[in-house]
Amino acid sequence: CCLVILLSLGVVGAAKKIVVGFSQVGAESAWRTANTESIISEAKKRGIELKFSDAQQKQENQIKAIRSFIAQKVDVIGFSPVVETGWEPVLREAKRAKIPVILSDRAVDSKDTSLWVTFMGSDFVEEGRRAGKWLAEKMKGKANIVELQGTVGSAPAIDRKEGFEEIIKSYPNMKVIKSQSGDFTRSKGKEVMEAFLKAEGKNIDALFAHNDDMAIGAIQAIEEYGLKPGKDIIIVSIDAVRGAFEAMIEGKLNCTVECSPLLGPQFFDAVEAIMAKKPLPKRIVTKEGIFPQEVAKEVLPTRKY
């Protein structure tokens, strides 16, 4: 009889639904769209209630979203920080409310690592190194390079630049002659590449773009300028989205370094581990590869994003 009473009170029976708040950077690139899809579909698959918020690349919107998740007393907060700094006050509010935080894709720059449970995502410095190594080899150690950086102050822009420079500095004839942010978008990538071409023209041998979308925008700018992308200007970028493979098959992009956006399964594995009070590593690194133009045709059908 007790069980009947408990059941009718909802004390026993269906397990309580996990509620997760997720603050996404925006929809700036094909990578981000695939990342959002991975998070939303995985929540659905597992029957987890997801409160999803798109910050449109603005930190203030992310802070607002996190505060609203705290007010709604969600079980876990996940977010992909648009920039690295400025998160401590809001993360302390989450900590005070005893809501665990998972950093997905991008890191925050804070000494207080107690503000999040785990950080999962790529090793962006290593991605920059991979792009640098590939380019140095391709150019036989000699090139005037232009660089399209990601969003100013974001972890991938800071780290990819660092990794790339670490490699390039051992080649005295590999020089970055222009470097500017294209905000990880196609339109900004095109616009900034137009300015690079106006200033340097045929002096440019190679382009390092911090993501494929900016490289695709730049390809358009190079064609409109009357040069052949992939031939007159050698291009390496990061992400390995389908659009990059298509550009490689057309001979317009030379290499893409993989950065996987398919973080949904590991993100919700972490959520479930937290709910089950299981320990988690502080850092979960995504495994990734690198794809030169020569393998593009063979690999494209297997790509999931």
Tokens encoding 277: 């009070």
Helices (H), 72-211: 88-96, 124-138, 155-168, 186-200
CB of 160 to ligand AHR, least distance (A): 8
**Burial (0-12, 13-18, 19+ Cβ within 10 Å), 83:** buried
Q: Which of residues 201-220 bind ligand AHR (CB under 6 A)?
A: 211, 213
Q: Which of residues 152-171 bind ligand AHR (CB under 6 A)?
A: 156
From 235, 240, 234, select the one nearest 256 (Cα to Cα): 240
Whole-angstrom distance, CA of residue 24 vs CA of residue 263: 12
Tokens encoding 118: 């785990």
Residue choice 23, 29, 36, 144 for contact with ligand AHR (CB under 6 A): 29
Contact region with ligand AHR (CB under 6 A), list: 28-36, 48-56, 199-207, 267-275: 28-36
DSSP H or E segment with residue 197: helix 186-200
Instruction: Between 132 and 156, name the residue whose CB sits nearer to ligand AHR.
Output: 156
CB of 202 to ligand AHR, least distance (A): 29
Instruction: Between 99 and 135, name the residue whose CB sits nearer to ligand AHR.
Output: 135
**DSSP letter at 16?**
P
Instruction: Between 29 and 266, name the residue whose CB sits nearer to ligand AHR.
Output: 29
Whole-angstrom distance, CA of residue 95 vs CA of residue 76: 11
Q: Is 233:202 a contact under the CB 8 Å cutoff?
A: no
# of chain residues touching ligand AHR (CB under 6 A): 13
Q: Is 264:282 a contact under the CB 8 Å cutoff?
A: no
Interaction mask 58-97, ligand AHR, x per CB under 6 A? ----------------------------------------
Is 284 strand, coil or helix?
Answer: strand
CB of 105 to ligand AHR, least distance (A): 5
Residue choice 21, 22, 28, 102 for contact with ligand AHR (CB under 6 A): 28
Residue choice 55, 239, 257, 274 for contact with ligand AHR (CB under 6 A): 239
The contact set with ligand AHR (CB under 6 A) reads: 28-29, 31-32, 105-106, 156, 184, 211, 213, 238-239, 259
